[in-house]
Copies of this chain bind each other. A is one copy, B any other.
């Protein structure tokens, strides 16, 4: 009976063709659903050339805000803003030294993941 009943989405009024498959997939997604927003958040963070450049610039050691801004060719304010974003999500840490603030990558695994995704693109080009 449940297999023959035609269900409709609450949003659209189109019938569902493969109910069981859809139900199974929804159940599977439900397990990952908790982490998906976090994963999307990470991808959003990485989906910006400025922030990617920051991560690559800091890949080999810390830099002060001013130097990062020179690398980027952006305002100090804009640079600080992006650094804060990356820090607030736990991917950078900062260190105070007098008036200066130095930022560095907090989690090396992030750089590895980045490299992996970079390879995905290169592979596709070939």
Interface residues of A (CB under 8 A from B): 7, 9-12, 14-18, 21-22, 25-26, 28-29, 32, 35-49, 52-53, 56-57, 60, 63-64, 66-67, 69-71, 73-76, 90, 100, 107, 109-110, 113, 116-118, 120-124
Contacts and interface: CB of A to CB of B under 8 A. Distances in A.
A117 to B, nearest CB: 5
A91 to B, nearest CB: 9
B18 A69 contact: no
Nearest to A35: B121
A35 B107 CA distance: 23
Contacts of A41: 47
Contacts of A71: 22, 25-26, 29
A109 B25 CA distance: 21
B17 A66 contact: yes
Contacts of A38: 121
Given A16-B70, A109-B123, A47 B49 contact: no
Contacts of A7: 70
B116 A116 contact: yes
Contact of A47 (B43, B69, B100): B43
